[in-house]
């Protein structure tokens, strides 16, 4: 099989890939380049993060250790202590990034994200119930977070459903659910003793500290199944942005597409939250930044996932460089930076007359 690349009609940024078998694939060159650059930067940030800490290592030493070199001490630090943390950061960031792109596309609202719509708060309630009432261990807390996130998603779907799920109704129901769930979080904190409250507060901050291979395996399995599933729906999601009527006319099963991608996004958010806590604003900012870089219409799912991975790992590295190893949870830094971005986004939307 051979392939030829020809410029697509009507654009200088796209190319059409055609094979001898008649298969045709449209490729957005700028988006592909941006995705490749984001992937390289995310991997570079991961290498820098592995080399950070009380035992600093150069990028060359990190790469040599990852490829089988280095002394036993360096191999223990890299393979057992730091590599799982970086992998969890990359996977959590990718899960939040692609889930945020799905929510913003379905709601047709740049403010539609798990942080705003209550899914992260639902996972927090599930985890707190496991901590406060069952004194659960790490695995049970993660299971509670997943159960809370999925239950919240199903409840929002049912409340927002009226001959289908429509964007603004979905956002409004999610905002209401977020307020109620936050009140539940505060109530559960009042029922906890000092040890449980400290543990719950640490978890809710969102952190990559102490992550090991026990978190990597389940999260990698969820991402390996659901991220490709969401990517398969990239074209229907792009058509949904033109409105339901236009999507129906183009043969898109609108309700089915919404249900499948939203359920996948909810599980991705729940699994990521279970692994690292409710790290805020990555799901909100990653799709927006990816779209601004690619300058391409549509959900930009893969660039959003790569941007999320880069943002989270880079933020964790920055927190260690600025405040010392494990002194500032990454969720605090993303919250501060993401809050500033949210204010800027609201001001931009208001200036454009959309809010």
Tell me, what's the pLDDT at 234?
Answer: 87
**Lowest-confidence range among 130-144, 166-180, 239-253?**
239-253
Q: Which of 192, 207, 184 is nearest to 131 (CA)?
A: 192
When pLDDT is averaged across residues 154-179 and rounded to a whole number, the result is 79
Q: How far apart are CA 132 and CA 184, in angstroms?
A: 12
Strand-strand pairing, 14-19 and 24-28: antiparallel
Tell me, what's the pLDDT at 139?
Answer: 82
Query: What are the structure tokens assigned to 115, written together?
Result: 């942080």
- The tens digit of pLDDT for each residue in 249-285 reads 777 777 788 888 988 998 999 899 888 888 888 998 8
- In the predicted model, is pLDDT for residue 3 greater than 50? no
- The tens digit of pLDDT for each residue in 98-108 reads 999 998 888 87
Residue 259 or 88, more confident: 88
When pLDDT is averaged across residues 161-176 and rounded to a whole number, the result is 75
Instruction: Tell me how far CA of residue 89 lies from CA of 141, 291, 348, in angstroms.
Output: 19, 22, 30
**Lowest-confidence range among 3-17, 66-80, 163-177, 278-292?**
3-17
Among residues of the chain, what percentage have pLDDT more than 70? 88
Residue 174 or 25, more confident: 174
Q: How far apart are CA 186 and CA 128, in angstroms?
A: 10
Question: CA angle, 162 as apex, 167 and 240 as ends, to 5°?
Answer: 35
For CA atoms 177, 179, 180, 183, the dihedral sign is positive
Q: Which structural domains are found in the chain, ordered by start? A: 9-52+83-323+330-347 (1.10.3470.10)
What values do phi and psi take at 9, rounded to 5?
-65, 135
């Amino acid at each position: 099989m051979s392939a030829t690349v020809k410029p697509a009609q009507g654009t200088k940024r796209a190319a059409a890939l055609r094979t001898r078998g008649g298969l045709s694939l449209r490729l957005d060159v700028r988006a592909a380049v941006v995705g490749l650059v984001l992937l390289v930067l995310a991997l570079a940030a991961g290498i820098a993060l592995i080399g950070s800490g009380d035992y600093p290592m150069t990028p060359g030493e990190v790469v040599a250790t990852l490829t089988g070199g280095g002394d036993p001490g360096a191999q223990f630090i890299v393979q057992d202590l730091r590599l799982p943390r970086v992998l969890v950061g990359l996977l959590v960031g990718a899960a939040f990034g692609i889930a945020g792109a799905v929510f913003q596309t379905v709601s047709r609202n740049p403010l539609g994200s798990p942080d705003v719509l209550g899914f992260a708060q639902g996972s927090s309630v599930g985890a707190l119930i496991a901590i406060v009432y069952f004194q659960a261990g790490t695995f049970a807390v993660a299971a509670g977070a997943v159960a809370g996130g999925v239950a919240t998603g199903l409840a929002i779907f049912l409340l927002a459903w009226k001959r289908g799920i429509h964007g603004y109704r979905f956002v409004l129901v999610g905002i209401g659910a977020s307020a109620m769930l936050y009140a539940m979080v505060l109530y559960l904190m009042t029922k906890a003793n000092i040890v449980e409250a400290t543990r719950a507060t640490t978890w809710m901050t969102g952190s990559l500290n102490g992550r090991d291979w026990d978190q990597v395996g389940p999260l990698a399995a969820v991402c390996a199944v659901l991220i490709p599933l969401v990517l398969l729906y990239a074209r229907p999601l792009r058509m949904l942005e033109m409105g339901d009527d236009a999507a129906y006319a183009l043969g898109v099963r609108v309700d089915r597409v919404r249900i499948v991608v939203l359920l996948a996004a909810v599980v991705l958010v729940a699994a990521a939250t279970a692994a690292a806590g409710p790290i805020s604003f990555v799901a909100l900012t990653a799709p927006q930044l990816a779209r601004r870089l690619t300058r391409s219409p549509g959900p930009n799912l893969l660039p959003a996932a790569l941007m999320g991975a880069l943002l989270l790992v880079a933020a964790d590295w920055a927190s260690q460089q600025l405040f010392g190893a494990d002194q500032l949870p990454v969720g605090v830094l993303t919250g501060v930076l993401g809050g500033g971005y949210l204010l800027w986004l609201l001001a931009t939307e208001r200036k454009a007359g959309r809010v």
